[in-house]
Chains A and B, each alone.
Chain A
Amino acid sequence: MKDHYSLVIIGAGPAGLAAAVVAAEYGLAVALLDEQAAPGGQIYRAMESIPTERAELLGAEYQRGRRLVSAFRDSGVDYFPNTQAWSLNHRREIGLLRDSTPGMITADQVLLASGAMERPIPFPGWTLPGVMNAGAGQILMKAHGIIPADGVVLAGSGPLLLLLAWQYLHVGVKMKAILDLTPVRNHLRALPHLPRALLAGHYLLKGMAYKRDLKRAGISTLHNVSGLDAKGKEQLESISFTHQGRQQTIETDMLLVHFGVIPHSHLSRAAGCEHNWDSSQQCWRPQRNDWGQSSIDGILIAGDGAGIGGARTAEHDGRLAALQVVHLLGRIDLHERDQLARNDRKWMREELHIRPFLEAFFHIPGKLLSIPDDNTIICRCEEVTAGEIRKAVADGHSDSNQVKFLTRCGMGPCQGRQCADAVAHIVAAAGGQSIDQGGHYRGRPPVTPLTLGQLACLTSEETE
């Protein structure tokens, strides 16, 4: 590993891989750092090692990633798998951890392609063993061929829930029920966006085909479900919920939940990039221009880490950001950049037709976001409840960071990744203010836990 590159890309999902290929084409010295052992990100995870049969079961959309991963392998980019970026600053110094050894590298330009994470929605019992994210269930199947043994329940709202159910159906997973927590009133909310969504009608058709297959297979799907509650002593034993005004219980040892995805923005926050609340996507997004440039000179952000657009959009977005870097570093002029960007801009526009519809259709209701039950654990690490946070607000602490200092909420190993949004929603609702007033935790390096021993291994020359 050199200690300086023209471009350092963080993340080997569709945005990062596509960007790396473009930048390498123009002869830039590029390094790509990624936490995983192999390229593909979460969406194309295990692309190079998956048995053909399993890849076919996952569908055509997954297999699209093969072309991208192989183009990346051919690009000659310096690729560092199993590498965590724990720090980034405005001087474009990147702290990294590779095989437990820390290091610092610098870059003329840095492209963050950190992707998305599942939106954490705390509910009673969500910390019980046996309750997992739907994305975790999908990772187990994709990367490891591991599936629920009997009677899993899927619950939540969002396209991934439907996709996972359909994939599970095809590999023969027994599903006890699918609980759709999308409120029926969302249909009305989404209606105005339908005409534009029809321009990307293949997505709608695919969703309808998944639903039809599940229905034909006799999988029970309950719509407009609320009041999800996971129960058990040391392990999940049953879940209860409200459907059509009646409380129901299903016995199960496994519940997979999903409430959409949000940008994983820990590194852009720690770097000090500006972020804004997007009320349609219901998440914070880093500020950036049409070419992916963040509020900090030399730091660009592309793909789902900049706002949720899906895998195909991320690929185009990554290429656009790479073209900008190639331009900034003097390899192409403005005119060439704009010409080269035309196709990606066009395809990205097409891809984005579906988003406003999806965002409205799967809009998470405020009641789910602001966690009405006082006993629900919000911070999984420090075990802080919704009631404790509301008490802090009642005592006059009206922003997320004050609540954090007071309650330790967000101070555990995950550093607030799982509770930041819930805290912001609770603080906003309890304090009668908007979510951006209550704010988000400040991000600070190291964004992934390091031991003091590892930090001490950095020599003074490297840190100055």
Chain B
Amino acid sequence: MFKRLDNTPEKLVTVTIEGQPVVVPAGETVAAAVLASGLGHTRTTPVSDTPRAPFCLMGVCYECLMVINGQPNQLACREVVDEGMTIERQHGLGELST
């Protein structure tokens, strides 16, 4: 589990993580928000449906793929939270929108 250092951010936004509203500091990446919220795993693998979570946080492992605002295969470590954003775990390959 993670926790936040005691500094109060100037601005907060509300996002929805797996259906639950969560208040997080503005400017934070989605990966940081979900790790701090204690979500645990952030996706399951396409090959064996095994749970995974962010690993490198710098855009080289592609382990943090999530469904953000309905779009699958988004790098949670690169996307920044926004008011009203919906964040969901990605199961397997993720449905492609048409």
- The chain A residues found within 8 Å of chain B, CB to CB, are 35, 37, 42, 49, 51, 53-54, 82, 117-118, 120, 127, 129-133, 135-136, 139-141, 143-150, 171, 234-235, 253-254, 264, 380-383, 412-414, 417-418, 449, 451
Contact = CB atoms under 8 A, between A and B. Distances in A.
B94 to A, nearest CB: 10
A149 B2 contact: yes
A381 B73 CA distance: 13
A451 to B, nearest CB: 8
A238 to B, nearest CB: 15
Contact of B54 (A117, A136, A147, A382): A136
Q: 8 nearest interchain CB pairs?
A: A129-B53, A136-B57, A413-B62, A414-B62, A145-B5, A149-B1, A149-B3, A144-B32
Given A54-B7, A149-B2, A235-B41, A133 B62 contact: no
Contacts of B27: 49
A147 B55 contact: no
A131 B73 CA distance: 21
Given A140-B32, A144-B32, A253 B1 contact: yes
Contacts of A451: 96
A117 B1 contact: no
Contacts of A129: 40-42, 51-53
Contact of A132 (B45, B48, B54, B78): B54
A365 to B, nearest CB: 23
B1 A414 contact: no
A463 B96 CA distance: 26
A132 B41 contact: no
B63 interface: yes
B56 A234 contact: no
25 contacts: A54-B5, A54-B7, A127-B50, A127-B52, A129-B40, A132-B53, A132-B54, A132-B56, A135-B58, A139-B57, A144-B25, A145-B7, A146-B2, A146-B36, A147-B2, A148-B3, A149-B2, A149-B3, A234-B41, A235-B51, A380-B63, A413-B65, A413-B73, A414-B63, A418-B60
A171 B4 CA distance: 11
Given A132-B55, A413-B65, A449-B62, 10 more contacts: A54-B5, A120-B61, A144-B25, A145-B4, A145-B5, A146-B35, A147-B3, A148-B1, A380-B52, A383-B50
